[in-house]
Chain A
Amino acid sequence: MTENVLSQRRLPSDLLQTFIVWEYESLKHLRSYRFLGSIAITFAVVMLVYLGPILTGDGYDGVETAAFASNFVQFSRVLIIICATLFGADAIVGEFQNRTGHTVLSSAVRRTYVYAGKFIASAILGLFVVITFYASVGILSWLTIGGVDDNFTVSFAYAVGLLLATIAVTYLISTVMKSTTGAAVLSFFLLILVLPVVDMMVSYAGVRPEGSLTFSAGVVEHVLADPYPVDTTVSMHGMTVNQFIPDPALAAVVFLMYGVLTLTMGVLLFRRRQLSA
């Protein structure tokens, strides 16, 4: 051992360690083909939606830009949930279940920055997928009907907000769960099924599901409509069915709050979690 090597060596800053964790976490998703898989799913969704009207003989004559984009964007929410599950669900729990955290977390690095590096890696890869989706739809819109809807970029901005909030939620789930499979299943079904069903039940009861992430997610599609849609009430078989529309400004706040709160909770729980197994 060189006696004075250590005294001369300085530990990297927290920021640099975050970057190092980000780099190797990204490598995980690239080498496990999760990233390539999600890009492939994106292209498959775009092509299927695009070919649908052509194969049924309807074509795109007279279709407006908003309607064209809306056809595709309704699938963005599912895509975002898939990304969050693929890139976030096992990120933290995997360190405990697979015992890889024993070596990483006993190194000279604060847990907060391990969490941050991992989250940034998942967010950037998810962002690539969302960009690929919107870029593909934009190009097809321009090639097919000669233009792109004015609110298309606004929809993209909301999609990015939704993506970050959804990944933050999956990270929180990953922090509290004990198995990677459990975290992935819970994340996916909670976001795709359980919360939307809760939104629906609350709406039936005549209450706006304000503050719900999945209810607010509707803004990604609704924002393409001009004018912006309003709440409707329909009477069917003696029942009153409410269809509530999320407020765009409130939806942005909901995304922000979910992102900030779940990230904060996730970091605090991760810092306290014991590597006992």
Chain B
Amino acid sequence: MIEIQALTKVFGTLKAVDDLNLSIPKGQTVGFLGPNGAGKTTTIRVMTNMLTATSGSVLLNGLDVAVDPKHALGSVGIVVETPEFYPYLTSIEVLAFLGSLRGLSPSEIKSRSEEVLRLVKLDGRMGTRIGEYSRGMKQRLAIAQAVLHEPEILILDEPTAGLDPRGMVEVREILLGLKKEGYTIFMSSHLLPEVQEVCDSAALVNRGKLLAYDSIESLGKKVKNARIEVTTFSDISPSVVESVKMLPGVQATDLVNPRAIVVTIEDSPSARANLLSSIQGAGAEVTGFQPLDLPLETIYMDLVKESR
């Protein structure tokens, strides 16, 4: 469905994408993760024919984007980072313009436009010109135009960037709905909880290089250490801290306040159980015991740190 083969993009002396290989099967939702400047947006721009690759290729449904962009992108919906549309058009006109370019008939444009604007909750602003739209509204319109022609592939660059918390939740719900409908989705993000919630797999990149690509579940299993925050009813005594430090698998402790300690520990159920019983055994009344990071966040931080 999506094949990225030995993709390299160089800007002057900077290698923004470095020999990237990715294969995304049909119906999968893949998160594309990396810190700022990792090469996520550059990769997406090469995939969508906005940039030309220095070497390598991108195949969408078997068609090379650089060789036949018209047909390769015919079954693709794209949401670019901070999307902009012609300010003199209304949302319904934007969809009519893009829909007709993609081969929708006038009747299809009418019915689909109403449908997708309802999906992104812009159906009440159909007649408003884009010039009057907020950034969040443009982001929703970008999602609407991406799914307008019912493409097989969706490529999304930071789809929740610039949205308020409510907007982010709504867009995430839309993405989950699209995932259920069977779209193949490739989305870049640096919001790890978002990727963990929406995606089946994640590809982690840094400095243009692929660090890991696996299912969210498998990536989670690679996590070696977890940070657990333990809160207590009364102040934590030095003896409790010392006893925790002595436990097998404990890497570090950090007394963040008199009634809360963060313990970095080998991530296994037995180590966690041992930690909890040990603290309680030392006389502390535990009121909270929870991991601070999601598994994906931990593996992401580990891999990015290792790649430096």
A interface vs B, CB < 8 Å?
1-3, 5-6, 9-12, 17, 20-21, 24, 27-28, 31-32, 98-100, 102-110, 272, 274-276
Whole-angstrom distance between the alpha carbons of A1 and B76 in the complex? 13
B71 touches A108 (CB 8 A): yes
User: Which of chain A's residues have a CB closer than 8 A to the CB of B100?
Assistant: 12, 20
Which residue of A11, A100, A106, A276 is within 8 Å of B11 (Cβ)? A276
A103 touches B145 (CB 8 A): yes
Whole-angstrom distance between the alpha carbons of A67 and B101 in the complex? 50
Whole-angstrom distance between the alpha carbons of A275 and B51 in the complex? 6
Whole-angstrom distance between the alpha carbons of A168 and B57 in the complex? 34
- 7 sample A-B contacts, Cβ–Cβ < 8 Å, listed by A number: A11-B70, A24-B86, A24-B97, A99-B84, A107-B78, A108-B76, A274-B52
* B232 located at the interface, meaning its Cβ lies under 8 Å from any Cβ of chain A in the complex: no
Contact A107:B102 (CB < 8 A) given known A1-B181, A100-B85, A276-B51? yes
Contact A105:B49 (CB < 8 A) given known A1-B183, A6-B150, A9-B104? yes
Contact A12:B101 (CB < 8 A) given known A106-B49, A275-B50, A276-B51? yes
A28 touches B50 (CB 8 A): no
Scan B4-20; emit 1 where CB is below 8 A from any A CB, else 0.
00000001000000000
B17 to chain A, nearest CB (A): 13
A1 touches B182 (CB 8 A): yes
User: Which of chain B's residues have a CB closer than 8 A to the CB of A21?
Assistant: 101
Contact A106:B102 (CB < 8 A) given known A6-B151, A24-B97? no
20 extra interface residue pairs, beta carbon distance < 8 Å, beyond A102-B83, A108-B71, A108-B101? A1-B183, A6-B74, A6-B150, A6-B152, A9-B104, A11-B102, A12-B101, A21-B101, A24-B93, A27-B89, A99-B80, A99-B82, A99-B83, A103-B78, A103-B85, A103-B98, A104-B101, A106-B73, A107-B102, A108-B102
Interface centre among A21, A27, A28, A103 (most CB of B within 10 A): A103
User: Which of chain A's residues have a CB closer than 8 A to the CB of B71?
Assistant: 11, 108
B171 to chain A, nearest CB (A): 17
Contact A17:B101 (CB < 8 A) given known A31-B88, A100-B86, A106-B50? yes
Q: Looking across the interface, which residue of chain B has its beta carbon closest to that of A6?
A: B75
Q: Looking across the interface, which residue of chain B has its beta carbon closest to that of A12?
A: B103
Whole-angstrom distance between the alpha carbons of A272 and B73 in the complex? 18
B69 touches A110 (CB 8 A): yes
Whole-angstrom distance between the alpha carbons of A98 and B183 in the complex? 30
A123 to chain B, nearest CB (A): 20
Interface centre among B70, B145, B182 (most CB of A within 10 A): B70
Scan B139-158; emit 1 where CB is below 8 A from any A CB, else 0.
00010010001111000000
B150 touches A2 (CB 8 A): yes
Q: Looking across the interface, which residue of chain B has its beta carbon closest to that of A16?
A: B100
* B45 located at the interface, meaning its Cβ lies under 8 Å from any Cβ of chain A in the complex: yes
User: Which of chain A's residues have a CB closer than 8 A to the CB of B70?
Assistant: 11, 108-110
Which residue of A31, A110, A275 is within 8 Å of B45 (Cβ)? A275
Number of A-B contacts (CB under 8 A): 102
B80 touches A102 (CB 8 A): yes
Whole-angstrom distance between the alpha carbons of A32 and B129 in the complex? 12
A273 to chain B, nearest CB (A): 10
Contact A32:B78 (CB < 8 A) given known A9-B103, A10-B103? no
* B264 located at the interface, meaning its Cβ lies under 8 Å from any Cβ of chain A in the complex: no
Whole-angstrom distance between the alpha carbons of A85 and B104 in the complex? 34
Q: Which 9 A-B pairs have the closest CB atoms?
A: A275-B50, A106-B48, A99-B84, A108-B74, A102-B80, A31-B88, A108-B73, A11-B103, A106-B78
User: Which of chain A's residues have a CB closer than 8 A to the CB of B45?
Assistant: 275-276
A274 touches B84 (CB 8 A): no
A9 touches B84 (CB 8 A): no
B74 touches A102 (CB 8 A): no
Which residue of B52, B84, B145 is within 8 Å of A98 (Cβ)? B84
User: Which of chain B's residues have a CB closer than 8 A to the CB of A103?
Assistant: 78, 80, 83-85, 98, 142, 145
Whole-angstrom distance between the alpha carbons of A24 and B101 in the complex? 11
B101 touches A107 (CB 8 A): yes
User: Which of chain B's residues have a CB closer than 8 A to the CB of A28?
Assistant: 86, 88
Q: Looking across the interface, which residue of chain B has its beta carbon closest to that of A29?
A: B88
B73 touches A5 (CB 8 A): no
User: Which of chain A's residues have a CB closer than 8 A to the CB of B80?
Assistant: 99, 102-103, 106
B156 to chain A, nearest CB (A): 12
A35 to chain B, nearest CB (A): 12
Whole-angstrom distance between the alpha carbons of A84 and B81 in the complex? 32
B138 to chain A, nearest CB (A): 10
Q: Looking across the interface, which residue of chain B has its beta carbon closest to that of A272?
A: B52
User: Which of chain B's residues have a CB closer than 8 A to the CB of A108?
Assistant: 69-71, 73-74, 76, 101-103
B51 touches A274 (CB 8 A): yes
Whole-angstrom distance between the alpha carbons of A148 and B101 in the complex? 46
User: Which of chain B's residues have a CB closer than 8 A to the CB of A11?
Assistant: 70-71, 74, 102-103
User: Which of chain B's residues have a CB closer than 8 A to the CB of A109?
Assistant: 70, 101
